[in-house]
Amino acid sequence: MASDRPLLISSPETPRAVEDLPTIPIYIDLAKSGSENPKLASAMDLHNPLGNSANTEPTLNSYFQRSNSSIKSRASRGNSVREVSFDNSGSKPPRHGSRGGESDGFSMSQRELSDEDARLIYINDPGKTNERYEFAGNTIRTGKYSILTFLPRNLFEQFHRLAYIYFLVIAILNQLPQLAVFGRTASILPLAFVLLVTAIKDAYEDWRRHRSDRVENNRTALVLGDEGFHEKEWKNIRVGEIIKISANDTLPCDIVLLSTSDPTGVAYVQTINLDGESNLKTRYARQETISRMSQNERMSGLIKSEKPNRNIYGFQANMEIDGKRLSLGPSNIVLRGCEIKNTAWAIGVAVYCGRETKAMLNSSGAPSKRSRLESHMNTETIYLSGFLVSLCTIVSVLAAVWLRRHRHELDYLPFYRRKSYVDEGDPKNYKYYGWGWEIVFTFLMSVIVFQIMIPISLYISMELVRIGQAYFMIQDNKLYDEASHSRFQCRALNINEDLGQVKYVFSDKTGTLTENKMEFQCASIWGVDYSGGTTCIPGDGFSAQVDGQVWRPKMKVKVDPKLERLSKIGKQTEEGKHIHDFFLALAACNTIVPMVVETPDPDVRLIDYQGESPDEQALVYAAAAYGFMLLERTSGHIVIDIHGERQRFDVLGLHEFDSDRKRMSVILGCPDNTVKVFVKGADTSMFSVIDKLSNMNIIRATEGHLHNFSSLGLRTLVVGMRDLNSSEFDQWKLAFENASTTLIGRAALLRKIASRIENNLTVLGASGIEDKLQQGVPEAIESLRMAGIKVWLLTGDKQETAISIGYSSKLLTGNMTQIIISNKSKESCKKSLEDAIVSSNKLMTQSGVAQNTEGTSGTARTPVALIIDGTSLVYILDGELEEQLFQLARGCSVVLCCRVAPLQKAGIVALIKKRTEDMTLAIGDGANDVSMIQMADVGIGISGQEGRQAVMASDFAMGQFRFLVPLLLVHGHWNYQRMGYMILYNFYRNAVLVFVLFWYILYTCYTATSAISDWSSVLYSVVYTSVPTIVVAILDKDLSSRTLLKHPPLYGSGQREECYNQKLFWITMVDTVWQSAVIFFVPLLAYWGSTIDGPGIGDLWTLGVVISVNIHLAMDVMRWTWITHAAIWGSIVATVICIFIIDAIPTLPTYWAIFNMMGTGLFWLCLLGIIVGTVLPRFVVKVLYQYFFPSDIQIAREAEKFGYSRELGGGGGGGGMQIEMNPILEPQQRLNR
């Protein structure tokens, strides 16, 4: 059969092909490992057949929370090839996650909620419901501001940035007469402009939210009144009112169903607006309320429910009606935002409204993250602040010395003149406050003059650049998923550049590496393997005759001819009976809803099996292919066509899957008047409830088949059953009814009751479902590995399945040595880790690799793969053993964690984040990946088959795992290179102007005056130099996408922080000092002794600075476009025009200064000298450095430019260029260098 699955073809990388490789055993214990730690997974509440004997058909709770681990199989004992196994089970199994029936919650379950603790809702009596205390109205408000609160709240939020507070203080100081350096209006403009732009953006976004709120609140719904149902606006709906919803309508609030158009009370609900899942779910009304509403009676009663909470998968309440107490659970409530489908109408009572609805309580977004570059930028900002303080201190100290030396001349110096002789009598001091205060004022005035050392425009420039980068990522067709017609989503604009520095990728398996489109492949029934090998052929498709029409399953399934033939025998033989029971279990033990779909042929209908779990859908389609076709499901029975004979089975009870039991069961009343319980679940939970006193041969054979299935990468689960006698059923029913009416601890009670009936089972068999790899996954992982990125697989699957997927995805290779850790106690985990570290170090030492498997030493290295299970992680992630795991894992090429719970996934990510500076990325598609996605530096959600929980919690979202390669290697590289350069350039361009002002102060008796006009100082960062920076940071490309994808090691430049680091920062500052000196001293020396005034030479300095920094930028542009040309050269032209306008205003002190200067040849000679003096040294150094110390990027650019890209890296030709990429080093090795 393996040959029929091209994505799992046996190859040199599969285990079977390397069976002759050596195995390095340390010590092995063949005892079975325990189940994963259920404490770390969320528990589901279980509910409810009808709690009263008045109705013979109990209400079926068909809400089923899909969990991948529900079909995971038990880890087998076989040793992998070339592995070091650490499996100790000598100690007691872990107690973690034992909060089942024996938990504290169970001990509380007998307590009733008091009136003070419960939410009392009087049905159809909103006045009495809200009499005691007012419940929230149904008005929603997602806007942040109102007209009155916008200004203070928005300013408060903006001033969370310390830089804004800094500039506010500067503006306030400049308003003081003693410190006024610039014009008072001009000093406020930069900060006011940034605040205004941000406020306009925030106001627009909030206006859109308010507009959406108005539309939502003014929608109408049918509400029951004195004269029947009438329309009422959503915002006026109150808790306790009865509401009628029609087909395809959206629910205005959370309601408990009372009646539906279906006689059995079922309603089909689509929750795509809530969790993104498009599959239909079933919700049910209680039979007692159905009869009351159908008779048009005035409905009354009391609902005692839990307080509002965010759990969209849980609900606990009781309903008292006609003296009866009925239990209510998740299957009885429909949440706001859901849509009614395939149901003419539904009636319910409002229990949560407005901000108390579960949808609104879950409306908060993902936690905010800050990029690594921005964090580093804050460090450099502190350095610049130190520069600023140093410059101001130098000026104030020199001013103090000058004042002391000239204290006797201050009254007469024409440019200082301390005394004022305007008034008659003794002259008084004119703005002179004494030597000490003059020093203080000089320091503060210097701060005002040098304020732009901290670039306020950098923040808004970064936001604009990130928006531009996000646009190009969204529009990239390489990130467009044709299957789902979905484009790349950029949900967090503030970490675009982090995509270029990723070192670790933590990936889920199901739905992330695989398609999550399950296909039934094989089965083991009563100890017989029906995998069939290559004999599996596509079935003709089983069909059933219903009311003169032919009903066929919508999806065809490959069938095994032998098994298909045996399934038709029925229960005439022992073998046929077991096959019959097996497929009956697959068709009945689920929550699938059959939906009939019309076809062009009026005599043919297709059955579309709707359900929340792709695994269940695959099993039901498989049962239909073998002649067990599920035709109908209601709240109390199901109808199955068994090889042409329609049979009705009463659903007497249902225990849904939960993370503690890891199985589900259904109790059926069969046509032969027998009662049977069918159970399916993970092998780790199923074999613990199988009757081992009989049929041990069957159990052993099934275990062997499970191992074979999982070794092929198939998802497995075990099916069992047993008959119930009348006394057992009556005991179960009584206990279930009592448990269903409790509010506190109901889930624990129901788990305990389920565990009592799910025992002494007869194993029927096991199934194997294939979840194929997504297109391009092996190639993507190989590219990521070549880029120096370590890929860790975190999955809930069993070990064999995970290893098989690891080989087929090229995550594991044949030359890797596997270290397997599987333990059941803290002590054994500790010893296993110690032995594994010794073994790993020995392997690396023997291969010439010491402490870093990613390094190169000239000798063949032996890569190591660590495989660890969730049970071991329970003890390791406790804290004491984390460091040992980190030391072991960091030296491994691959880490594969199997049987892990959602919070354990987050714990693994935190393990790396806390101990390294490396960038982490987590990618997943399901709700169980949310914790991992939010913990990582970068979180990516796959918009796949498991809803949108992962997408809604992510920073970025896309359709396929393979898109990770262009996202990181292309856009991530570009974003990091552009943003790193833009930050350094912004520091440089502002520092140049500051140092020019500093040199000027040294030649003006340290008086903190400025030769550059106030308006030019304001416009410098806004008009003169801002646009080119933004344009280059959005459009520039150091390499083409083709080159970056062809040579993944080029991605290492981001990991090595080549584009932004402290070395580059200090080099830039040195260059800044030199350029500022040239700009200042060339005109100063040229005009020394002339009669030129301050505004004139100030305009020359302004033009010199603007032209120099723009030519500096032009030298570093790598990919020119017409927009880039327009931005850079247009910026210079705009500067000249602005200076012309400023100097043409008669009221300004700079009047006509530039026109007088430009009329002389010396002016143009000075400009030429400034350009040559600032640009030439940098150009020479850059050429020499690139010639003698070229980087990978520079070599690739040169090869790309001259057409040698196909030979880059020694592609294979005899005369090709042999280029060795720089090694990607760990942080410690970077420091050692």
| Catalytic annotation, residues | 508
Q: Which helix (H) or strand (E) holds 378?
A: helix 372-405
Q: Shortest CA distance to 902 belongs to which of 934, 876, 945?
A: 934
Q: What is the DSSP string of 1166-1211?
A: HHHHHHHHHHHHHHHHHHHHHHHS--HHHHHHHHHHTT-GGGTT--
Q: Which helix (H) or strand (E) holds 949?
A: helix 949-952
Query: How far is it, in rounded angstroms, from Cα 769 to Cα 166?
Result: 62
Q: One-letter amino acid identity for 394? A: I
Query: How many helices and strands (H and E) does the chain possess?
Result: 39, 41
Cross-sheet strand order for the sheet of 894-898 = 27-28, 83-88, 817-823, 864-869, 894-898, 790-794, 502-507, 919-924, 938-942, 956-958, 489-490
∠ CA 581-585-590, nearest 5°, is 170
Q: Shortest CA distance to 588 belongs to which of 644, 628, 545?
A: 628
Number of neighbouring beta carbons within 10 Å of residue 293: 21
Query: Tokens standing for 658?
Result: 């939960």
Q: Which helix (H) or strand (E) holds 1086?
A: helix 1062-1086
- Strands 919-924 and 938-942, how do they pair? parallel
Query: Tokens standing for 1076?
Result: 């500022």
58-63-68-73 Cα dihedral, nearest 10 degrees: 0
* Residue 508, C-beta contacts closer than 8 angstroms, at least 6 positions apart: 794, 795, 905, 923, 924, 925, 926, 928, 929, 932
Q: One-letter amino acid identity for 280? A: L
Query: How far is it, in rounded angstroms, from Cα 362 to Cα 360?
Result: 5
- Strands 762-773 and 663-669, how do they pair? unpaired
Contact 343/260 with Cβ under 8 angstroms?
yes
Q: Shortest CA distance to 436 belongs to which of 458, 407, 413, 415?
A: 407
* Residue 510, C-beta contacts closer than 8 angstroms, at least 6 positions apart: 68, 516, 715, 771, 795, 796, 797, 925, 926, 946
Number of neighbouring beta carbons within 10 Å of residue 729: 17
What's the distance, Cα to Cα, between the start and end of the chain in Å? Answer: 53
Query: How far is it, in rounded angstroms, from Cα 847 to Cα 841?
Result: 10
Contact 825/34 with Cβ under 8 angstroms?
no
Contact 503/920 with Cβ under 8 angstroms?
yes
Q: DSSP state, 967?
A: I
Query: How far is it, in rounded angstroms, from Cα 1009 to Cα 690?
Result: 90
Query: How far is it, in rounded angstroms, from Cα 990 to Cα 453?
Result: 6
Q: Inter-axis angle of helices 1094-1116 and 1062-1086, to 10 degrees?
A: 140
Instruction: Report in angstroms the alpha-carbon separations of 15 from 73, 807, 815, 894.
Output: 19, 8, 11, 16
Dihedral of alpha carbons 1080, 1082, 1085, 1088, sign: negative
